[in-house]
Amino acid sequence: MRVDRFLSNLPRFNRKQVRLLLVERRITVDGQTVSDPHHPVSEFSRVLLDGEVLQAGKPARYFMLHKPQGCVSATADPQHPTVLDLLDEPDKHELHIAGRLDFNTTGLLLITNDGQWSRRLTQPQTKLPKVYYVETEQNIGPEYAATFAAGLYFAFEDLTTQPAELELLGPRTARLSIIEGRYHQVKRMFGHFNNKVTRLHRERMGPLELDSALAQGQYRALTDAEIQQV
């Protein structure tokens, strides 16, 4: 939110006092003195008044996980292990998943406590591609690519999918790039041709590619450079 709104929400300040604090340049956000009332403040920001802590801020956390089969993309599940169970990290209840994967789908999963960052990564409006390696039960025909590029109508949601790019790797293997994340979208796209997906593996989300050094079930923190790419 804006810094003036953040300060006004504190019971000790009224709007006139907030304006004065900013004009007198007594507020710092993450070490930067601010006077602009529109300056952004997030839950991760450290906000000080004359050196007094108004909000300590909490560290933003970002992880890349190589999701295995048989694991639920959820924060909790009564029957199955979840992807958060694979993380040896404190305060896991504060984390959420940026772009879930089906129970038996493997590959890149991103986990964070930064909601704004994960929305940029997953919202269709940003048009960041999600790239999957796909194996199918039957041969993939030449008509698939044109159909996927034109978009498929999903009656259940009453919508047409955004254009998707299909690269044929073999008779029954392909790489598919989509910018959405509809329910079972990839499987339903191939299901349009009555062709069952037998293996699905996410390789990339936007600029972030699965680290080849990570075995299934392993994870690591993202680097600063990777975080800034989104």
Question: What CA–CA distance (Å, rounded) separates 180 from 102?
Answer: 15
Output the pLDDT for position 168. 97
Confidence label for 76 from pLDDT (cuts 50, 70 and 90): confident
What percent of the chain has pLDDT above 70? 100
Question: What CA–CA distance (Å, rounded) separates 79 from 119?
Answer: 28
Burial class (CB in 10 A: 0-12, 13-18, 19+), 114: buried
Output the pLDDT for position 152. 95
CA of 126: how far to CAs of 26, 76, 101, 153, 194, in Å?
37, 28, 19, 21, 31
Output the pLDDT for position 124. 82
> Which residues are catalytically annotated?
102
Mean pLDDT, residues 181-190 taken together: 93
Confidence label for 77 from pLDDT (cuts 50, 70 and 90): confident
Asked if residue 156 has pLDDT above 90, the reply is no
The answer to whether 203 and 107 have CB atoms below 8 angstroms apart is: yes
The pTM for the full model equals 0.84
Q: Which domains does the chain have, with CATH numbers?
A: 3-55 (3.10.290.10), 62-224 (3.30.2350.10)
Output the pLDDT for position 160. 94
